[in-house]
Amino acid sequence: MTMITRVLAALAFAAATSVANAIPTFSGDVGSGGNFSDTVDSADGWVTDNAVDNGVDFWTLNITAPALLTIDISSIIDFGISIYQGIVQDDLGFAFDNDADFTDPSTFNQGTFVAGTPSFGAAGSSLRIFLANAGDYTIAVGGDDFGFGGPYDYKMQVEVPEPGALFLLLSGVLALVLKRRMGSARH
């Protein structure tokens, strides 16, 4: 093995380890990722666009560089998840839209829809999305199920890998692929 191949392999291994360690698992600021828990009072608040009476919870997130965001929710009901660019919450409960832009009726801040899970049964209570722009985001979560009033407890895990570690990992993988192609071109 050449010295360059060894160095590239070591960099790829270090990057993968760094990415795995960059995902915190503590309760606290959603912007740093971690584990969170709360309650919604409706099994279908998200899917029916009904944020009234705690049908949908809003969480804020700030990223400083493009990042892969992963959200997983566990509960006895299915949950829908929507991501909006900007900080919004629908305290009044009538402007929320789970798959389109909406304006916060309290602050008049615009929430630009970025991505969301599909409605009714296909959601799976998980969302993975690459956020290409740094800035503030809002995560909206609520029931995507049939059922009666709650409350329904849920646990949400948010992962936001450190952008530098992700770049390092991808650079190492790219270098290994290029090395392999160059090696096969010589034969």
CATH assignment at residue 82: 2.60.120.1220
How many structural domains comprise the chain? Answer: 2
Clarify whether residues 155 and 182 are in a common domain: no
Q: Which helix (H) or strand (E) holds 56?
A: strand 56-63
Clarify whether residues 46 and 69 are in a common domain: yes
56 pLDDT more than 50: yes
Clarify whether residues 135 and 101 are in a common domain: yes
Residue pair 103/110 in contact by the 8 Å Cβ criterion? yes
pLDDT tens digits, 127-157: 999 999 988 888 888 888 877 777 999 999 9
Reference 56, options 156, 130, 134, 131; nearest CA is 156
Average pLDDT of the residues in 6-11: 46
pLDDT tens digits, 65-121: 888 999 999 998 888 898 999 887 766 666 778 888 888 777 777 888 998 888 765
Query: With the CA atoms of 88, 59, 68 and 8 taken in that order, what torsion angle do they form, in degrees rounded to the nearest 10?
Result: 130
Clarify whether residues 11 and 27 are in a common domain: no
Question: Which range of residues forms the domain containing residue 100?
Answer: 23-160
